[in-house]
């Protein structure tokens, strides 16, 4: 099979995974990134088995095991009382049931291991500090002295410039939710948190997720509540007035959790944007992956996992059908759209359940309490047990 030349715009987790997947199949890959250096914003990341399976297949198993913490359980608990509502077992149970580990790690660690693998691969070339608007993307190969690519892939995130080249693609919209992200030392949270678990504390219109990082020395915390549309932005440092808004939203929560929020170091404030269903591919033009195609809210913790799946499955689809690229891309999009739609629906369901109020909240807790941990795990088989094409 003749090697294709692939041009990827964006060197985040999705773009780097896509590059490794194509290079693994023998294609030549150039990755273009506007930043002068790669530094992942944010703290923690949940790596579910559907994603870790792909990372292991790409040769990152040893690095993943060294950087990732495998929690004992995924716990749902009351934000007001700290009472445990239910849990899904993890650890060895997850690896046995879904065939790959469930873990948590620092986003920067995942990006670093992907970057190291890209830099070490003879078929990958990374071009940093190369900002290009949608009108300039066609001229990138000439500007960088590259051959004309067989395929351009937009992995440039929710504010994608490549998306502008896809007629019928959807524009980002504000979800109405904002996420506050920060880390604290583990010993400062022991009254409220179990540092061996991923815990989602639930409350009316709000929830908070906590899990260990850095060999258990710190706890990553993400607090999600309602917010106002800030316009085109990504992550920002908080301001004192914003911290008061956060404390007001969590004012009726358990005092130990409120104390963590009040005494936390400076947080990062992330407005949550999503990209509704639209076109991901233009005939004869680029194809979108990850947040550029289908950014979603984090209620199912699948944003990075879906980008990882996208990149791997796109490379596999192109490897299996080396001739007719146009029909291959259409088939890829059709397949992925169904998967993304189901993941998006799961996130919408989780948002409804996590933020439930009044009788709905009481009913939620009763239903969850009646289900066994194993039955809750079975409801995730379609998500965590998914094997991307070629695995």
Task: Look up residue 140 and give its two tokens.
Answer: 């990138």
Closest of 66, 76, 65, 74 to residue 100, by C-alpha: 65
How far is 380 from 237, CA to CA, in rounded Å? 35
- Distance between CA 383 and CA 65 in Å, rounded? 21
pLDDT, residue 157, reads 95
Report pLDDT for 231.
82
Residue 274's pLDDT is what? Answer: 96
Number of H helices, E strands in the chain: 14, 15
| C-alpha distances out from residue 194 to 47, 66, 179, 218, 316, Å | 19, 22, 21, 12, 40
**Residue 232's pLDDT is what?**
82
For position 41, what pLDDT does the model report? 63
Q: What is the pTM of this model?
A: 0.95
pLDDT along the chain (391 residues), means of 10: 89 97 96 84 87 97 95 96 95 96 94 96 96 91 93 96 96 94 92 94 95 93 91 73 88 96 89 95 91 96 97 94 84 95 94 90 90 94 92 83
Pairing of strands 173-185, 218-226: antiparallel
- Joined together, the tokens standing for residue 268 give 């990062």
List of domains in the chain: 5-70+103-171+275-355 (3.50.50.60)
Cα end-to-end span (Å), the chain: 21
């Amino acid at each position: 099979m003749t090697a294709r030349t692939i041009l990827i715009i964006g060197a985040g987790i999705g773009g780097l995974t896509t590059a490794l997947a194509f290079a693994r199949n023998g294609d030549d890959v150039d990755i273009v990134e506007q930043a002068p250096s790669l530094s992942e914003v944010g703290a923690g990341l949940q790596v579910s088995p559907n994603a870790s399976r792909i990372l292991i297949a790409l040769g990152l198993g040893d690095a993943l095991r060294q950087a990732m913490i495998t929690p004992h359980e995924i716990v749902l608990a009351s934000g007001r009382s700290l009472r445990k509502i239910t849990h899904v077992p993890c650890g060895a149970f997850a690896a046995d049931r879904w065939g790959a580990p469930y873990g948590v790690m620092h986003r920067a660690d995942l990006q670093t291991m992907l970057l190291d693998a890209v830099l070490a691969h003879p078929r990958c070339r990374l071009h940093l500090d190369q900002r290009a608007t949608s009108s300039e993307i066609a001229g990138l190969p000439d500007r960088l002295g590259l051959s004309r690519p067989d395929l351009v892939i937009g992995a440039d995130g929710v504010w994608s410039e490549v998306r502008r080249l896809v007629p019928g693609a959807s524009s980002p919209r504000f979800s109405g939710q904002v996420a506050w992200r920060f880390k604290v030392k583990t010993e400062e949270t022991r009254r409220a948190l179990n540092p061996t678990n991923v815990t989602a504390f639930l409350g009316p219109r709000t929830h908070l997720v906590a899990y260990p990082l850095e060999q258990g020395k710190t706890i990553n915390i993400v607090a999600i509540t309602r917010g106002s549309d800030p316009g085109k932005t990504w992550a920002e440092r908080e301001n004192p007035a914003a911290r008061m808004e956060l404390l007001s939203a969590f004012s009726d929560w358990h005092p130990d959790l409120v104390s963590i929020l009040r005494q936390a170091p400076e947080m990062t404030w992330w407005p949550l944007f999503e990209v509704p269903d639209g076109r991901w591919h233009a005939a004869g033009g680029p194809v979108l992956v990850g947040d550029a195609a289908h950014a979603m809210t984090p209620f199912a913790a699948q944003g990075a996992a879906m980008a990882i799946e996208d990149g791997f499955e796109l490379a596999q689809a192109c490897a299996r059908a080396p001739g007719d690229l146009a029909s291959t891309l259409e088939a890829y999009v059709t397949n992925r759209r169904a998967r993304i739609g189901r993941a998006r629906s799961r996130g919408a369901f989780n948002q409804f359940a996590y933020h439930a109020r009044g009788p709905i909240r009481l009913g939620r807790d009763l239903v969850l309490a009646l289900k066994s941990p194993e039955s809750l795990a079975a409801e995730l088989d379609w998500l965590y047990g998914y094997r991307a094409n070629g695995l």
